[in-house]
Each structure stands twice: as structure tokens, then as C-alpha cells.
Amino acid sequence: MRPQILFPLFADIDTLKGVGPRVRPALSKIAGPLVRDVAFTLPHNLVQRRRMTAASAIEGEVGVFEIQIDQHIPNRKPGQPYKVRGFDDTGWVHLVYFKTYGDSLLKSLPVGARRVISGKVERYGSEVQIPHPDYAVLPEKASDLPLIEAVYPAGGGLSSRQVRRFALEALAQTPALPEWQDPAWRARQGWSGWRDALEAAHHPQTMADLEPAAPARRRLAFDEMLAHQLALAQRKRARRRLAAPVITPGPLSAALEAALPFDLTGAQTRAVSEIRADLTSGARMGRLLQGDVGSGKTAVALLAMASAIDSGFQAALMAPTEILARQHHTNLAPLFADVGIDCVLLVGRDKGAARLRALSGLADGSTPVVVGTHALFQEAVTFANLGLAIVDEQHRFGVAQRNQLQAKAGSGEGGAHLLTMSATPIPRTLELTQYGDLDVSRLDEKPPGRQPITTSALPMDRMEAVLERLGQVIQTGAQAYWICPLVAENVEVDLASAEARAVALKARFGDRVGLVHGQMPGAEREGVMAAFAANELSLLVATTVVEVGVDVPNATIMIIEQAERFGLAQLHQLRGRVGRGSGKSACVLLYDPPLTQVAQARLEVVRSTEDGFLIAEQDWAMRGGGDPLGLRQAGLPAYRFADPVAHRDLLLAAADDARLQLARDPDFSSERGRALWVLGELFDWKPDRAERAD
């Protein structure tokens, strides 16, 4: 239940003075529906005003002048400004208006009157001009005119100044709250109390006060991330308290492990034992297996499924596309068959008798393993005793599909264990914000014997040389990808150039050139991909659709056109499509010069390493504090105060703090626990804001 102390903050914004039916929608859009949301809307800029005279006016700064109005100079032609001339002891000051004319100005700035005006100074020849002054007040009201004014987000007809007024009123209604931070930690940071920090954030004195590094902003950011981490930690704890089947490896696991044509890497062995520990614990597993493309996640999944079957349960593996599901089935079914286990495939397109057979086998428990697409978790499918659900490339699934899966796997007592797998290595900080409620295993070691991929970056004018080399390699029977960018803002143009590229390559290399792109119907797309996988095509021109884990070991060349337009992680993923077989592989990053410094740095990172975790960390570091778009793409929660890049040190501390709290005082009954409860309620305990944002 929400603590009473928070009631004023959870009141509707229409309780703020001046917020009626007309203002409410605009304010709600800018801030949110609650007083809390308005109090949490911080200024993003600062106007600093300085007293000036006509003689001392500094161009580009915001000046405050006390002048006497001398003359109105109406514009002679449309498009010319209307001017009001004034003077002080040192010279003339011209107020310049482009859209306001005549009467209203004559009334507010009558000739002979004295006014204190403020605005950004421009010089036009020798003339001091103030275009559209932001204040023009009577001299006795000069104190109304703040020398430092915080600028708030505006919109929907609300000016920054109005929003500021509402924000300050919301702030006035904000109570001081019990201190939820560990006293020693807070002392070390030198932070003020929460209420004072919020107050300070609304009253910046210098530009530095607006920076993420400002102490008040850091404190607010830490509190927000702490609330989020507490929510994630609670969810993790709740899951661990759910009973789940006890699954122990037996003879089947041993036989399958022995049948693998390779020894597990150290990282695979570690992951397998972490998973086994979860499966035997009797508590519900919720684990993320993170590992770069080619790190060998499938073998880990296989052994986990084997344990489930050993203990008399069913296991299901779900992939995001039909082609991936088929590929998994092709790889896994023979291994299972060798030990006498039937592994069926279930994809959306299946119809008729085969589908019915698969469904009844799952329903009566006679089929122990199934591989499929999300068709697996649709209504018609029932499992006799599903013990383990595995989701490959889990980030490819939408929220709805993930929820369906969860429901099918059983959310109550006795539900299935869940293992999710991701081939997108992410930095620790991102892992904490996105998957703080999961346990994580990392495959940070590649299977032995992989040949390094030779990566080079070349400007577009080297295209002819690239084509010549490509022709030679194709002659020898190798296959190649040619990737063209396709971005949402630019679909038509990008599509046209991908198609044009395919036409040009066909003209040069003939029929064994195919094209796939995201706008094609799914079946057609998968048809082309399948033809490439079957080596009926030598060269596959593609927009980024090939990112989705297809495995064509014979493909050894990856050419990425306009590589400067791709993100680091994306380039790494794309490159991961080659270097999967025994042949020597190459990746060519073709770019359109001149490169920006950032683009150059990005290409250099990809060129210099194949370590996905390292690339992810670099990617993260290069984003700096800005790029909200990139952050959203990364699936970050919609924080109000925190910037997980700028505040990453605090994020790690908040995660540790939350973990400790749950271990020491899981019921939030100590004094600090009760204060933390208030913090959680203040932020609504929403661990899944990230999911709801997309």
C-alpha cells in the first residue's frame, strides 16, 4: 500500500494552481498525470542575464537594460521588422519585432516611458538590437526579472515559464521523505537529503548544475536506479520462491555429452553447471545465456534439454524465425535420434496430419523435445509436462510473445524453468538495467580452432578492386553476403539502392545472385535464404535481415556497404555471419568518405577486435551521454533522472545495494527498509518500464 506521506505527490496535476481542463492535457504530455511527475520535470537549460548598458552590451549574451522609450519605427515593407527605439545614458537600444506590430506595442511600450527589458543581444552594424525581448517591465518591477532563469520543457501551448511555475508549485507540495540511503554511502558521496537535492535540481545556478555530474542530479539518479534495482531484485526473489520441477542430469545427458563431436569449452562447462545447479534447486530458473555468435550456445541448450528428459520432463526450444527453427531442428534431431529420443519441429506454416501428430505427441507426453517458432506457444499447443523452455535470440521476440511463452510455461507453482539465450553481448551496466531480474551466464570464450576473420575498411572508390576479388573467390565455390543499409527514416531510398546493387551484381556475376530485404513477404524471404543456405546462390544481397542467426558455414565473405551507417554492435553481428566454417573468412567494410571521427573510431574498433563483449563496452562508452535514440534502441528503461551511461558507476552501486537489502531485510521491516519501501512506491516499483516503452 502506498504510504500516506506520498499522497500529495500522487495527486492529479489538476490540483496544482492554474491547471484546469485547458492546461491539463499539455502539462500531462510534458510531465505526466501526477504532481510527482511535474515535480520530477527538471530544467534542461539556463538563461543567465546580466545588467548591461547600450555601451557595454555583449553580443550573444542575455542582457538587462533600463531604457526610456524614444520612438516607434513601423516597418515600411512586409518582412521588415517593427522597431522600438529606446536609450539609456550611453546610447541607443533597438527592440526588434518580426511578428508583433503596432497597437499592442504602442500600449505596452509607450513613448517616453521607462522600461526594464531583457533579451539576447545582437549587433547590427553599430546598432544594439534586442530581437523579441523576453521581458519588458516597469522599473519598480525590475526585481521580478530573474538574473538566472531555469528553462523547462515547453509545448502544447505551454511556455517554459508556465511549466516552471507548475514545477515549482509541485515542488512546494513535495514533502521531505525519510532517508533511504545508507548513511555511510551518502556521507561518502557528500550528498544532501532527497528533498534538498530535488530543490537544488530545480534551482540551477550555473550550467554545471544541469550536467549529469552535478551532485543533486547524481543523488536523484542514484535513487531512481536504486528503486529500479530493488524492483528487479524483488522480482528475482519472487521467482526463486516459485516451486519448479527438480531436474537432474542422468544417462541421457551423459550419452549426449559423449556424442558431441567436440569437448566443451571452459565457458560452456561453467554455463552448463550453473544451469544444472538451477535445475536441481527446486526453484524456478530464470537465466540468460549470453554469448557471442558462434560461442556455442546450442550445445549448452542441448545438455539442459537432456537433463529435463532424463528427469521425465519435456523440453522446448523456441527460435524467432522459421529458418532458424529449422536449422536448430536439423542440427539437434539427429543427436537426439542417436540416443533414441524423438525431436519434432513445429512452425507456423505446418498444417495437416504432421502437425496434428506433433501436437498430440506433446499433449500426451510421448514427444519429449520440440523445436519451433512462437507457434509453439500458441493456444492449440499443450504440453503434458513441460519442464524447460528455452528461447533463442530472445530479444527478437515481442513483449506479447514473451508473455505468451511465460503463461504457457506456467507462471504458478510447478511451472517450467526458463532459459533465454542472446547473441547480443551487452555491457554489465546494460545487463543490470535490462536483465536485473535474471541470473546470467556468459560464454566469453570461443570454441577452439576458429580462424580469425580478416576485416578491412575501404572507401567506396575501391569498389572495383573488391568486385574483382569477389569474383575470384566465388569462382572457387565460396559464398558471400553483400549487406546494404536499410533504416526506417530512409526506407524507400535505401530499398532502391539495395535493389540497384542487386541488379548491378547480377549483371556482373549472373544468376547466382539473390536479394532479400525486410519489406519482402516472409515466405519469399525465407525461400531466398534457404536457396543461399543450400548453395544454390553464391552471393546474397541483403538488408540487415541476415542478422537473425542464419548459419551458412560455406559463406566466407561479408561485404558491408556504407558501413559507416551501421552501429558497432550491428557490424559485429553481421560479421559474425562468416567465419563459421573451416575456410578462411574476410569482412570488408565499404564506406563513403569522408568519415566523421566517431564513424572512423567505430570502424576501427570492429577492425581491431572480434570480442563481442569488448565491442559492446566500447559501443557503450562511445555513445557518451547523448544519443537518446541509441539508448532507446538498446531497450533502456525510461529513466527520468538517470543516464545509465553518465551514471554507470552509480548503477553498479545501486545494484549492489539492492542485492544487499534483499538479502538482509527482505521484508523491508528495518528502519532503512521502510524508507526504501517509500522510495519504491515513489517510483512505482516498475521493473519492466523498458518493456512497456517499446
CB 526 within 8 A of CB 322: yes
CA distance 607 to 614: 13
Selected from 229, 295, 311, 314, the binder of ligand ADP by CB under 6 A is 295
Quickly tell me which residue has 566466407 as its cell.
556
Quickly tell me which residue has 527438480 as its cell.
246
User: HSE on the CB side for 436, CA within 13 Å?
Assistant: 31
Please choose, out of 23-31, 170-178, 258-266, 660-668, the segment that lies near ligand ADP by the rule CB under 6 A.
258-266
At its nearest, how many Å lie between ligand ADP and the CB of residue 299? 5
181 or 307: CB nearest ligand ADP: 307
Which candidate, 548, 598, 602, places its Cα nearest to that of 576? 548
At its nearest, how many Å lie between ligand ADP and the CB of residue 551? 6
- Classify strands 539-542 and 479-483 as parallel, antiparallel or unpaired: parallel
DSSP string, 381-436: ---SSEEEEEETTGGGS-HHHHHHHHHHH-SSTT--EEEEEESS---HHHHHHHHT
At its nearest, how many Å lie between ligand ADP and the CB of residue 443? 7
Which own/partner pairs from 76-84 qualify as long-range (CB within 8 Å, at least 24 positions apart)?
Answer: 81/131, 84/109
234 or 268: CB nearest ligand ADP: 268
Please choose, out of 89-97, 257-265, 364-372, 633-641, the segment that lies near ligand ADP by the rule CB under 6 A.
257-265
68 or 330: CB nearest ligand ADP: 330
Is it true that the peptide bond before 131 is cis, omega within 30 degrees of 0?
Answer: no
Quickly tell me which residue has 546494404 as its cell.
484
Strands (DSSP E) found in 474-527 = 479-483, 513-516
299 or 552: CB nearest ligand ADP: 299
Instruction: Establish if 424 lies at the interface with ligand ADP (CB under 6 A).
Output: no
CA distance 688 to 433: 10
298 or 455: CB nearest ligand ADP: 298
CA dihedral 316, 317, 323, 328 (to 10 degrees): -110
- Classify strands 386-391 and 314-318 as parallel, antiparallel or unpaired: parallel
At its nearest, how many Å lie between ligand ADP and the CB of residue 257? 11
Selected from 244, 272, 299, 304, the binder of ligand ADP by CB under 6 A is 299
Instruction: Establish if 296 lies at the interface with ligand ADP (CB under 6 A).
Output: yes
At its nearest, how many Å lie between ligand ADP and the CB of residue 185? 39
Instruction: Establish if 250 lies at the interface with ligand ADP (CB under 6 A).
Output: no
Identity of the amino acid at 377: F
Instruction: Establish if 303 lies at the interface with ligand ADP (CB under 6 A).
Output: no
At its nearest, how many Å lie between ligand ADP and the CB of residue 544? 17
Identity of the amino acid at 374: H
Instruction: Establish if 297 lies at the interface with ligand ADP (CB under 6 A).
Output: yes
At its nearest, how many Å lie between ligand ADP and the CB of residue 451? 13
At its nearest, how many Å lie between ligand ADP and the CB of residue 293? 5
Identity of the amino acid at 200: A
6 or 264: CB nearest ligand ADP: 264
293 or 679: CB nearest ligand ADP: 293
The DSSP element (H or E) to which 572 belongs, if any, is helix 568-575
At its nearest, how many Å lie between ligand ADP and the CB of residue 447? 3
28 or 573: CB nearest ligand ADP: 573
| 274-294 burial: b if 16+ Cβ within 10 Å, else e | bbbebbbeebbbbbbbbbbbb
Please choose, out of 68-76, 104-112, 242-250, 295-303, the segment that lies near ligand ADP by the rule CB under 6 A.
295-303
CB 218 within 8 A of CB 197: no
Please choose, out of 94-102, 264-272, 375-383, 529-537, the segment that lies near ligand ADP by the rule CB under 6 A.
264-272
Instruction: Establish if 420 lies at the interface with ligand ADP (CB under 6 A).
Output: no
Instruction: Establish if 268 lies at the interface with ligand ADP (CB under 6 A).
Output: yes
At its nearest, how many Å lie between ligand ADP and the CB of residue 575? 13
CA distance 548 to 320: 8
Facing residues of 117 across strands? 65, 136
Instruction: Establish if 423 lies at the interface with ligand ADP (CB under 6 A).
Output: yes
CA distance 322 to 376: 11
CA distances from 161 to 135, 153, 165, 411 (A): 12, 9, 6, 49
At its nearest, how many Å lie between ligand ADP and the CB of residue 330? 12
CA distance 355 to 397: 23
Which candidate, 512, 516, 523, places its Cα nearest to that of 543? 516
580 or 602: CB nearest ligand ADP: 580
Selected from 6, 264, 283, 463, the binder of ligand ADP by CB under 6 A is 264
Alpha helix positions (H), 128-286: 160-172, 183-189, 194-202, 215-240, 251-259, 266-280
Instruction: Establish if 612 lies at the interface with ligand ADP (CB under 6 A).
Output: no
Selected from 47, 200, 220, 293, the binder of ligand ADP by CB under 6 A is 293
At its nearest, how many Å lie between ligand ADP and the CB of residue 313? 22
User: HSE on the CB side for 504, CA within 13 Å?
Assistant: 10
CA distance 552 to 659: 43
Please choose, out of 135-143, 289-297, 477-485, 528-536, the segment that lies near ligand ADP by the rule CB under 6 A.
289-297
249 or 549: CB nearest ligand ADP: 549
Selected from 118, 162, 181, 265, the binder of ligand ADP by CB under 6 A is 265
Instruction: Establish if 294 lies at the interface with ligand ADP (CB under 6 A).
Output: yes
CB 329 within 8 A of CB 317: no
At its nearest, how many Å lie between ligand ADP and the CB of residue 581? 8
Selected from 447, 518, 625, 630, the binder of ligand ADP by CB under 6 A is 447
Q: Residue 544: which residues within 8 A CB-CB, separation 6 or more?
A: 483, 485, 486, 518, 566, 570, 574
94 or 580: CB nearest ligand ADP: 580
Please choose, out of 87-95, 240-248, 256-264, 309-317, the segment that lies near ligand ADP by the rule CB under 6 A.
256-264
At its nearest, how many Å lie between ligand ADP and the CB of residue 534? 17
At its nearest, how many Å lie between ligand ADP and the CB of residue 429? 23
216 or 423: CB nearest ligand ADP: 423
129 or 424: CB nearest ligand ADP: 424
Please choose, out of 142-150, 290-298, 611-619, 663-671, the segment that lies near ligand ADP by the rule CB under 6 A.
290-298
Please choose, out of 272-280, 294-302, 460-468, 671-679, the segment that lies near ligand ADP by the rule CB under 6 A.
294-302
At its nearest, how many Å lie between ligand ADP and the CB of residue 298? 3
Selected from 63, 86, 249, 291, the binder of ligand ADP by CB under 6 A is 291
565: DSSP letter? G
CA distance 627 to 245: 44
Please choose, out of 21-29, 57-65, 246-254, 261-269, the segment that lies near ligand ADP by the rule CB under 6 A.
261-269
Q: Give the cell for residue 468.
A: 574483382
Chain contacts with ligand ADP (rule: CB under 6 A): 262-265, 268, 291, 293-299, 423, 447
